[in-house]
Amino acid sequence: MDLADFDYALPKGLIAQKPVSPRDHSKLIVLNSKIEHQHFYDLINYLKKGDVLVINETKVIPNKLVGKKLTGSPAEIIISESKGEEGICSVKTRNPFVGTKLIFGKYNAEIIKQEKDSFVVLFDENVKKIIKKIGILPTPPYINRKLKKDSEYQTVYSRKKGSVAAPTAGLHFTKQLLRKIKKKGVKIAKVCLHVDFGTFLKVRDIKNHKMHEEYFEIDKKNADIINKAKRLFVVGTTCVRTLESANKNGKILPKKGKTSLFICPGYRFKTKIDALITNFHLPKSTLLMLVSAFYDRERLLKAYQVAIKNNYRFYSLGDAMLVLKWKK
């Protein structure tokens, strides 16, 4: 198994630049005994009384700063963690190195340390105060359009601030659809995993790939709901990693901490997940590898080709996929 096994060609025109409105009118490809073409609002037809829908309550924070280097070259940073005047950041500029001086409006900063794919940046004021004043919502690098409003890149149930990227499988839900799902007797369990900028890093070597640590939490109330589920429908790869990180001997425990769990084909799931709701992911990405581990790589990539032929919209603001557990 190598990176080429998770590659596919995608026409650039199928990379979604804005969400569908209403959100739940996006397309939904269903991987069942056969491939079905639906809309996201049809998800309710696959749910039954006693099922549990697991969602990620994380909220994207406006932690992107746009400015320039002291030399004048453009510079962008995304801050994933901060303490006082220091921030751990991803830095997008020409040739960043320790000692590089940056300017963001009236604020000055300097790269003081490099840690693998991130940098420690020292600012001339408290980082959280700077974010509050001039921070903007980060979006994936393949989205070239400026958001009309920040809510386009937040789930309707986002509550706990901390992510640098949205848990995009959840972007398709509307409050109305969630009410209908609850009315059908489906319980909704809430977990939290704050997405780090490591989610955008390319995999170079599957065998030796190291995931960035991401904070997660599940409380007792929601762990109990999940453990009592007749069937478990999990919204997004972030929820899958959260459940697997909190699972001990087949049960979800109330837990909080950091996870660097990397799931790829060959991984043995501890949690009995009956269905996964997800988006279409980038080639050679850890997200595509996780879905391949849950389902089947060859069948999954064939479904991607079907989606391409049917002009599905791909990536964060695109259409959705319902993967019902398939047994070989």
For residue 296, the one-letter residue type is D
Comparison of pLDDT for 219 and 1, the residue scoring more:
219
User: What was the pLDDT predicted at 270?
Assistant: 97
Q: Is residue 327 scored above 60 in pLDDT?
A: no
C-alpha closest to that of 326 among 307, 310, 303: 303
Helices (H), 206-271: 220-227, 237-245
The domains of the chain, with CATH numbers, are 3-60+146-324 (3.40.1780.10), 64-134 (2.40.10.240)
The residues pairing with 15 across neighbouring beta strands, listed in sequence order, are: 314
User: What was the pLDDT predicted at 128?
Assistant: 94
User: What was the pLDDT predicted at 203?
Assistant: 81
- Could you read off the pLDDT of 194-248 as tens digits, one per residue? 998 776 667 878 888 888 889 999 999 999 999 999 999 999 999 999 999 999 9
* Token pair recorded at residue 150: 């920040």
Give SS3 for 243.
Answer: helix
DSSP state of 195: P
Give the mean model confidence (pLDDT) for residues 170-175: 98
